[in-house]
Amino acid sequence: MNDAVNDRPVAVHVFVDAGYLTLADVEAPMDLAVLFGRSGAVEVEVGTGRGDFLVGCAAANPSVNYIGIERKTGVLNRAVRKSKRAGLENVALINSEAENLLANYLPDRCLRAVHVYFSDPWPKRRHARRRFFRAGAPDMLARILRCGGFVHARTDVKEYQEEMLEVFARNPLFRRIDPPPELLAFQTGYERRFTSAGLTIFRASYEFTGKTNICA
Binding site for ligand SAM (CB under 6 A): 47-49, 69-72, 75, 97-99, 117-120, 188-191
To ligand SAM, the closest distance from the beta carbon of 215 in angstroms equals 28
Quote the CA–CA distance of 78 and 168 in Å, as a whole number.
32
CB nearer ligand SAM, residue 23 or residue 34: 23
CB nearer ligand SAM, residue 152 or residue 210: 152
To ligand SAM, the closest distance from the beta carbon of 191 in angstroms equals 6
Query: Nearest-CB residue to ligand SAM?
Result: 47
Quote the CA–CA distance of 41 and 111 in Å, as a whole number.
7
Quote the CA–CA distance of 209 and 175 in Å, as a whole number.
7
Say which of 31, 108, 120, 139 is annotated catalytic: 120
To ligand SAM, the closest distance from the beta carbon of 46 in angstroms equals 6
Amino acid (1-letter code) at residue 75: V
Decide the pairing of beta strands 202-208 and 174-177.
Answer: antiparallel
To ligand SAM, the closest distance from the beta carbon of 154 in angstroms equals 7
Say how many C-beta atoms besides its own lie within 10 A of residue 130's C-beta: 13
CB nearer ligand SAM, residue 55 or residue 98: 98
Max intra-chain CA distance, the chain? 57
Comparing CA positions, the residue from 151, 187, 181 lying closest to residue 50 is: 187
CB nearer ligand SAM, residue 156 or residue 168: 156
Quote the CA–CA distance of 197 and 192 in Å, as a whole number.
9
Would you call 156 a catalytic residue per the annotation? no
The set of catalytic residues is 120
